[in-house]
Chains A and B, each alone.
Chain A
Amino acid sequence: MISTALYKREMKRSIKLLLIFCTVLTMYIAIIISMYKPELAKMLDKYVELMPELMASFGMTGDATTLTGFMCSYLYGFILLIIPMLFSIIRGNGLIAGYVDKGSMVSLLSAPLKRRTVVLTQMAVLISGILLLNLYITAVELFFAEYDYPDQLHIGHLLSLNTGLLFLHLFIGSICFTASCVFSDTKYSVGAGAGIPVLMYILKMLANMGDKADNIKYLTFFTLFNPDGIVDGELKAVIGIIVLLTGAVILFTSSVVVFCRKDLNI
């Protein structure tokens, strides 16, 4: 189904990026969690009072009374959305469109492998990267939460939260990957693969800012990922992440079909 040689090569290329992103995530998560001390949390909440719109645009609404609630507010609105999204944008584009644009796709297709094998391998590489990032995020969160505040983190909540996060990032990854399969020119592949998720994120920021802009939330898929709702076990929030996962499956499947049927001027 997939080519081991190609998978290995591509994972090697992902590792560098993953290492950089994991470093950033570690520092950020460690700092945010350490701030859950009442006095520091008060400081953050003061920021929220001072500039509610700006803080809210990053999903930081304050009033976090539990550690999980605090993390939902200060981690799941910005950094945990942006970093894996960047990974998907960069790798998604490089895995297919990059090869087609440069012409080196010839090397991969002038061999006795089905196009399906090639595209499934590249997809597996992207999904592996997203999975690794999410596992790492979970591990780092667990570590620092347990280290700083033993027994205060509800592990079940964290796991369902991160399952939701994974589905969201699989969906973002599937957008980037589909763009990469549809467009042969990296200009357009990046345009769509980066443009759509970034635009959606900006809409989410706008929607978070105020009452009047609240309806914008219906225009962005980020609304389907509702951290507080997931922690509270709301049905709507669960349906949201299932929709995201379904979307990812549909887009990933279409990308395979598109690539297998596509004319390649290479």
Chain B
Amino acid sequence: MLMGMITVDGLTRDYGSGKGIFAVSFSVEKGETFGFLGPNGAGKTTTIRHLMGFLKPVSGKCEINALDCWKDRDKIQAQLGYIPGEISFFEEMTGTEYLQFMEQYRRLGTESRKEELLDFFQLDPGVKLKKMSKGMKQKIALVVAMMHDPAILIFDEPTSGLDPLMQNKFIDFINAEKKRGKTILLSSHMFEEVERTCDRIGIIRNGRLAEVNPVQELRNRHVRPYTVTLETEALAKAFAEDFHGQRNGRKVTVTAKQSLEDIFMHYYGDESLDQHSTV
């Protein structure tokens, strides 16, 4: 029984020689932000292509809002915003022309959020798409994905190519959309953006979903408390302040949190070994 806004159930596509995705199952609840984390080639994009109705499931199935991702793809697209991992527009157009085309193509009228989004991302689209930097193209893709104000967002590595300032801005944007009740699937290999935006994280490796966990749980898992005793209370006070610890007399308890990155390494650390053994 499939539940949730986005459900993937036993999705398999074998490209041979260990490539592909194998029995991937997860679901994203309404209003939830789900992080889809994994290194390049792990199967994130393949999974997303199934969700988009570009690929037909060989076995297993996927649904969005109780609609079949392959059969009802056009109905799903009406409420979906998508940023592809590799962006390719109509290169001969300017950004303005492209956005205008997409508005007409989608048959958007006055309800388009185009202007608002262009303002938010401080984007001047009057340049030929061919001449745009990767970051600018990424912003155009974002505007296209969001201008029809979709309820479900699927972003495939949306911040690659953005500078740190824009990445922050993007994370703020995601969080704002989340507050507006959007269901979001965010694929990434950047721990920080996932940690700062997502409720739950699915970790995919070699085409298999290794684990699905709430971010908080992942974060807590590797928390280690240390209690140290300082020589004087004044020293203890300074120590507690510098290391954000809890002071009790001369005793101070500090906690070391592993970053998500370290947790990630825990899952993928031996990846290089895997590759060597298969070569």
Give chain A's interface residues, CB within 8 Å of chain B: 3-6, 9, 102-104, 106-115, 261, 263-266
The answer, among A9, A115, A261, for a CB contact under 8 Å with B101, is A9
Give chain B's interface residues, CB within 8 Å of chain A: 49, 52-56, 73-75, 77-78, 80, 82, 84, 86-91, 101-102, 104-107, 144-145
Closest to A111 in B: B106
CA distance A265 to B80 in the complex (A): 19
The answer, among B49, B87, B91, B105, for a CB contact under 8 Å with A111, is B105
A–B pairs, 16, beta carbons within 8 Å = A3-B105, A5-B105, A5-B107, A103-B86, A103-B87, A104-B89, A106-B88, A107-B88, A107-B144, A111-B77, A111-B106, A112-B74, A112-B77, A261-B56, A265-B55, A266-B54
CA distance A106 to B90 in the complex (A): 11
A265 touching B54 in the complex, CB below 8 Å, given contacts A110-B80, A111-B77, A114-B74 = yes
Give min CB distance, A6 to chain B, whole Å.
6
Given A110-B77, A110-B82, A112-B74, 9 extra CB contacts under 8 A: A106-B88, A107-B90, A107-B144, A109-B53, A109-B77, A111-B106, A112-B78, A115-B74, A264-B55
CB neighbours (8 Å) of B104 from chain A are 4-5
CB neighbours (8 Å) of B53 from chain A are 109
Give min CB distance, A195 to chain B, whole Å.
26
CB neighbours (8 Å) of B106 from chain A are 111-112
Closest to A108 in B: B105
| Inter-chain contact A264/B144, CB cutoff 8 Å | no
| Inter-chain contact A263/B55, CB cutoff 8 Å | yes
CA distance A4 to B103 in the complex (A): 12
CA distance A108 to B105 in the complex (A): 8
CA distance A113 to B75 in the complex (A): 8
A-B contact count (CB 8 A): 68
CB neighbours (8 Å) of A4 from chain B are 104
CB neighbours (8 Å) of A110 from chain B are 52, 77, 80, 82, 84, 145
| Inter-chain contact A106/B74, CB cutoff 8 Å | no
Give min CB distance, B263 to chain A, whole Å.
31
CA distance A264 to B145 in the complex (A): 20
CA distance A110 to B77 in the complex (A): 6
CB neighbours (8 Å) of B101 from chain A are 5, 9
Closest to B49 in A: A265
CA distance A149 to B73 in the complex (A): 59
CB neighbours (8 Å) of A264 from chain B are 49, 54-55
CB neighbours (8 Å) of B75 from chain A are 112
Give min CB distance, A154 to chain B, whole Å.
45
CA distance A9 to B102 in the complex (A): 11
| Inter-chain contact A103/B84, CB cutoff 8 Å | yes
CB neighbours (8 Å) of B87 from chain A are 103
Give min CB distance, B114 to chain A, whole Å.
15
Closest to B82 in A: A110
CA distance A115 to B84 in the complex (A): 18
Closest to A6 in B: B105
A107 touching B89 in the complex, CB below 8 Å, given contacts A3-B105, A112-B74, A112-B75 = yes
Give min CB distance, A260 to chain B, whole Å.
10
CB neighbours (8 Å) of A104 from chain B are 88-91
CA distance A102 to B49 in the complex (A): 16
CB neighbours (8 Å) of B78 from chain A are 112
| Inter-chain contact B88/A103, CB cutoff 8 Å | yes
CB neighbours (8 Å) of A266 from chain B are 49, 54, 84
CB neighbours (8 Å) of A6 from chain B are 105
Give min CB distance, A139 to chain B, whole Å.
30
CA distance A4 to B107 in the complex (A): 10
| Inter-chain contact A107/B102, CB cutoff 8 Å | yes
CA distance A265 to B260 in the complex (A): 31
Give min CB distance, B130 to chain A, whole Å.
12
Give min CB distance, B49 to chain A, whole Å.
7
Most buried by B among A3, A108, A110, A114: A110
CB neighbours (8 Å) of A5 from chain B are 101, 104-105, 107
| Inter-chain contact B88/A263, CB cutoff 8 Å | no
CA distance A109 to B54 in the complex (A): 8
CA distance A118 to B158 in the complex (A): 26
Closest to B58 in A: A263
Closest to B103 in A: A5
Closest to B129 in A: A104
CA distance A69 to B77 in the complex (A): 56
Closest to B105 in A: A5
Top 4 A-B pairs, shortest CB-CB distance:
A103-B88, A112-B78, A5-B104, A264-B54
CA distance A108 to B86 in the complex (A): 15
Most buried by B among A108, A109, A261: A109
| Inter-chain contact B56/A263, CB cutoff 8 Å | yes
| Inter-chain contact B102/A109, CB cutoff 8 Å | no
Give min CB distance, A113 to chain B, whole Å.
6
CB neighbours (8 Å) of B80 from chain A are 110
CB neighbours (8 Å) of A112 from chain B are 74-75, 77-78, 106
CA distance A109 to B104 in the complex (A): 14
